[in-house]
């Protein structure tokens, strides 16, 4: 990723609730209608990773989906399942 694109990402504020402090984020995809991002968010001193999908409606970004990972145990469960299912997405057969 180019430095210029990285700087632009960091300047761009995610349309998340003011309840959360965005510690860091990466935009995965953004068009005029859809925006996907993964963010480290914090509330009440606790951090989590949140995967967001917003849709632009009437000139405003509205959240369609949000998925949070709150601790390393959740991460390991999600990672294990995604690793198991990913070959089915990519057409590979399990060994």
| Residue-wise pLDDT tens digits, 53-80 | 999 999 999 999 999 999 999 999 999 9
Q: Give the list of residues 6+ apart from residue 41 with CB closer than 8 angstroms, or none.
A: 16, 20, 21, 22, 23, 47, 48, 49, 50, 68
State the pLDDT at residue 1: 52
Model confidence at 6: pLDDT above 60: no
**Which two tokens mark 44?**
């009440």
Separation CA 77–CA 86 (nearest Å):
14
Model confidence at 28: pLDDT above 70: yes
Separation CA 83–CA 51 (nearest Å):
17
State the pLDDT at residue 19: 95
Model confidence at 23: pLDDT above 80: yes
Whether 48 and 31 have beta carbons less than 8 Å apart is answered as no
Q: What is the pLDDT of residues 78-89, one digit of tens each?
A: 999 999 999 999
The domain segmentation of the chain, as residue ranges, is: 3-70
Which pLDDT band holds residue 14 (cuts at 50, 70, 90)?
very high
């Amino acid at each position: 990723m180019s430095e210029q694109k990285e700087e632009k990402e960091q300047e761009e504020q995610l349309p998340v609730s003011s309840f959360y402090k965005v510690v860091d984020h990466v935009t995965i995809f953004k068009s005029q209608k859809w925006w996907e991002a993964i963010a480290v968010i914090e509330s009440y001193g606790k951090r989590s990773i949140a995967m967001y999908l917003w849709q632009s409606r009437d000139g405003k970004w509205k959240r369609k989906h949000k998925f949070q990972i709150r601790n390393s145990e959740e991460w390991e469960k999600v990672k294990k399942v995604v690793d198991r299912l990913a070959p089915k997405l990519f057409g590979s057969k399990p060994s």
